[in-house]
Amino acid sequence: MTNAQPIDPSTASRPPGPRGLPFLGVGPQMAPERSLQSMKAWREEYGDVFRLNLPGRDMVVFCHPDHMEQILVKQRDRFIKGKAYDGVRQLVGDSVLTLEGDAHKARRRMEQPAFHKRSLKLLVDTMVDATARWFDRLRERMPEGGELEIHREMTHVTLEIVVECLFGRGFFERTTVSYEQLTQALELLSNDANGVPIPRWVPTPRNLRFHRVLKALNTDVYAVIAAAQEAVARGEDDGSLLQMLLRTRDADTGEALSVEAIRDEVITLFIAGHETTALTMTWFFDLVTEEPEVIEALRAEVDGQLGDRVPDYNDLNALALVRRVVDEVLRLRPPAPWIARDVAEPTVVGGHVVEPGDLVLPSFWLLHRHPDFWEDPERFDPDRFLPERVSARHRYAFLPFSTGTRICIGNMFSYVESAAIISELVRRCTWTRVGDARPAPYQIATLRPSEAMFMKIAWRA
Ligand code: HEM
C-alpha cells in the first residue's frame, strides 16, 4: 500500500453534493449536452469534491491537483478500474488498459519498449508517410480545395496512421478488416455509458448486434495476427507495433504474449490510439481557427524549421510552438475529460471519505480550468505552456494523459502524430470556418463535438 491516509471519522465526512430528483438523482443534469455545465456549477457550489447520486450508485467527482496525486499516485492501490471498466473489458478483454495490479505491471513492462523513443523514431516515418499520402489523396479529390467535415476527416487520417503503425505500411491494401466493425462496436459501448446498462447475456437487439460485431472483428484480428506470426517466423521485420508485441518477452519469465493477449492489446491500441488523437485534431481546428495570429506563427515555425524537408522524430519534437498549441488544445478540450475508478477500500481524499460502491471520477475537464491554477481559464493561450510557466505550476494541474503507473502509454506517440498532421496541414493548406456556429463539447466517454464542423480549405501552392 502506498502512503495510505488514515481515516479519521471526526474530521472526514462524506462529500457534499446536489440531492437531485427522486429515483433519477442528478441523471437529467448529467445528460451529455448538460453535464459539463452542471459539473462547473456544482464545483462552484460545493468545492473541489462533490458527490452525485445517480440511479445505481454514487459518483464522487474530484478536480484539485492534490486530489489527482492522491488518487492516481499516492493511494493508487485503493482506486482500481474494477466494475467501472466492465464495459470496456467486453470489447478489449484483458489488456494493459484493463488489467490490474501485478498483471498490469507485467503487461505494461512488456509493452513499454514499443513506445520508447527508439521505436517511436521508426514509427514516425510511418506516421509522416501516412499523413502525406492522406493529403495527396485529398488534393486529388479536391484539386481546387473545398469543404471538409473536420471530425470525419481527422478520424480517417488518425485511423490510417494508427493502423499502419500497428500492422505495417500498406495494411488496407492487404486486408478485409473493416473500420465500420470497430466504430460500430465503439458506438454500442459508448451508448451504454449513457443509459442503464443491460447485461450482455440478455438477448436485446443491441446486445445481439454487439456480439455479432465483436465476433466478426475477432475473426479478422486473429487472421491479421496469424499473418504477422508467419512474417516474424520468416525473420521479416516491418517495424510495426504488432510485430514488436509478437517479439516481446517477459523480463522475468522469458514468456511471450499469448495470441489472445495480443488480440486484446491490438484492439486496445486501435481504440485508445485513434479516437483521442482525432478529437485533439478536431478541437485544434475549432480553437485555432479563431486565432489567425497563432496559425501564422505555427506556419512560420514549420516553414522555418522544416522547409520542404520530410520531418523525422527529432524535427517534430523540436516544433516548440506546435507542442504548446497542442497542449493548450488538450487543456481546454481534453479528449478524455474524466476517468473512472472503483474504490477498493474506504479511504479519505481531500478531507472526505470515499467507500467501496462509490464511482470515483477524477475530472480533467474541471482540473484544467481550476481557477486557482489557471488564470482566465477559458481563454486560449498557448504561452501558458512556456517552460518557465510550466515549472511554476502545480505538477498535477495538467493531466490530459492521466498520471502515475497508468499514465497513457501512447502520450509521446500522440504528440508526434499531432505534430506530423499539423505541420503537413499548415505547410499545404489555409482554411476558414464555414458558417459561424461552433460545436459544443459533449462529455460522453470522450469529449466529442456536438455537431458536424465544416472548414473550407485552400491549397497554398
Ligand atoms: C491525445 C491523445 C490521447 C489522450 C488524450 C489519451 C488519454 C489517455 C488517458 C487519460 C489514459 C488513462 C486512462 C485510465 O487510466 O483510466 C490513457 C491510457 C492509455 N492510452 Fe491513451 N490517450 C491518447 C492517445 C493514445 C495513443 C495514441 C495510444 C496508443 C497508440 C494510447 C494508448 C493508451 C493505453 C494502452 C492506455 C492504458 C495504459 C495503462 O493503463 O497502463 N493512447 N490514455
- How far is ligand 1, taken at its centre, from the CA of residue 271, in Å? 9
- How far is ligand 1, taken at its centre, from the CA of residue 402, in Å? 8
178: confidence class by pLDDT, cuts 50, 70, 90: low
Whole-number pLDDT of residue 196:
46
Whole-number pLDDT of residue 90:
84
- Ligand 1, atom 36: nearest CA belongs to which residue? 408
Query: Ligand 1: does its nearest atom lie under 6 Å from the Cβ of 276?
Result: yes
Is a pLDDT exceeding 60 seen at residue 6?
no
The Cα-based distances of 238 to 48, 176, 235, 244, 319 in angstroms read: 48, 20, 10, 9, 28
- How far is ligand 1, taken at its centre, from the CA of residue 408, in Å? 4
CATH class label, 27-459 = mainly alpha
- How far is ligand 1, taken at its centre, from the CA of residue 411, in Å? 7
Instruction: Calculate the CA dihedral of residues 313, 318, 455, 271 and round it to 10 degrees.
Output: 40
Query: Ligand 1: does its nearest atom lie under 6 Å from the Cβ of 335?
Result: yes
Percent of the chain with pLDDT over 90: 70
- How far is ligand 1, taken at its centre, from the CA of residue 272, in Å? 6
Whole-number pLDDT of residue 183:
65
Is a pLDDT exceeding 70 seen at residue 292?
yes
Query: Ligand 1: does its nearest atom lie under 6 Å from the Cβ of 408?
Result: yes
- Ligand 1, atom 11: nearest CA belongs to which residue? 408
Indicate the average pLDDT of the chain: 90
Whole-number pLDDT of residue 173:
66
Whole-number pLDDT of residue 407:
97
The residue whose CB lies within 8 Å of the most ligand 1 atoms, and thus the one to mutate among 408, 443, 448, is: 408
Query: Ligand 1: does its nearest atom lie under 6 Å from the Cβ of 268?
Result: yes
Whole-number pLDDT of residue 180:
66
Q: How far apart are CA 56 and CA 53, in angstroms?
A: 8
DSSP code of 430?
E
At which residue does the C-alpha cell 478520424 appear?
Answer: 155
pTM (2 d.p.) = 0.94
Any idea what the Cα angle at residue 9 is, between residues 8 and 12, rounded to 5°? 80
Is a pLDDT exceeding 60 seen at residue 10?
no
Residue 257: phi and psi, rounded to 5, are -75, 140
Is a pLDDT exceeding 90 seen at residue 129?
yes
pLDDT, mean of residues 287-314:
96
User: For residue 162, which of 280, 301, 326 has the smallest C-alpha distance?
Assistant: 280
Whole-number pLDDT of residue 259:
95
pLDDT, mean of residues 223-231:
91
Is a pLDDT exceeding 50 seen at residue 417?
yes
Q: How far apart are CA 206 and CA 18, in angstroms?
A: 33
Of 223 and 439, the structure prediction assigns the larger pLDDT to 439
- How far is ligand 1, taken at its centre, from the CA of residue 401, in Å? 6
- Amino acid letter for position 418: S
Asked whether 51 and 42 are in contact (CB, 8 A), the reply is no
Asked whether 133 and 240 are in contact (CB, 8 A), the reply is no
Whole-number pLDDT of residue 220:
81
The 10s digit of each residue's pLDDT in 302-322 is: 999 999 899 999 999 999 999
pLDDT, mean of residues 189-202:
56
175: confidence class by pLDDT, cuts 50, 70, 90: low
pLDDT, mean of residues 94-111:
95
Of the listed ranges 4-18, 394-408, 424-438, the one predicted with least confidence: 4-18
- How far is ligand 1, taken at its centre, from the CA of residue 203, in Å? 32
Query: Ligand 1: does its nearest atom lie under 6 Å from the Cβ of 158?
Result: no
Whole-number pLDDT of residue 9:
47
Query: Ligand 1: does its nearest atom lie under 6 Å from the Cβ of 360?
Result: no
- Ligand 1, atom 19: nearest CA belongs to which residue? 408
Query: Ligand 1: does its nearest atom lie under 6 Å from the Cβ of 269?
Result: yes
- The total number of residues written for the chain in this structure: 461
Query: Ligand 1: does its nearest atom lie under 6 Å from the Cβ of 84?
Result: no
Any idea what the Cα angle at residue 450 is, between residues 446 and 451, rounded to 5°? 125
199: confidence class by pLDDT, cuts 50, 70, 90: low
pLDDT, mean of residues 49-72:
93
User: For residue 265, which of 408, 96, 106 has the smallest C-alpha distance?
Assistant: 96
Candidate ranges 27-31, 185-189, 272-276, 279-283; pick with highest mean pLDDT: 279-283
Specify which residues 249 forms β-bridges with.
256
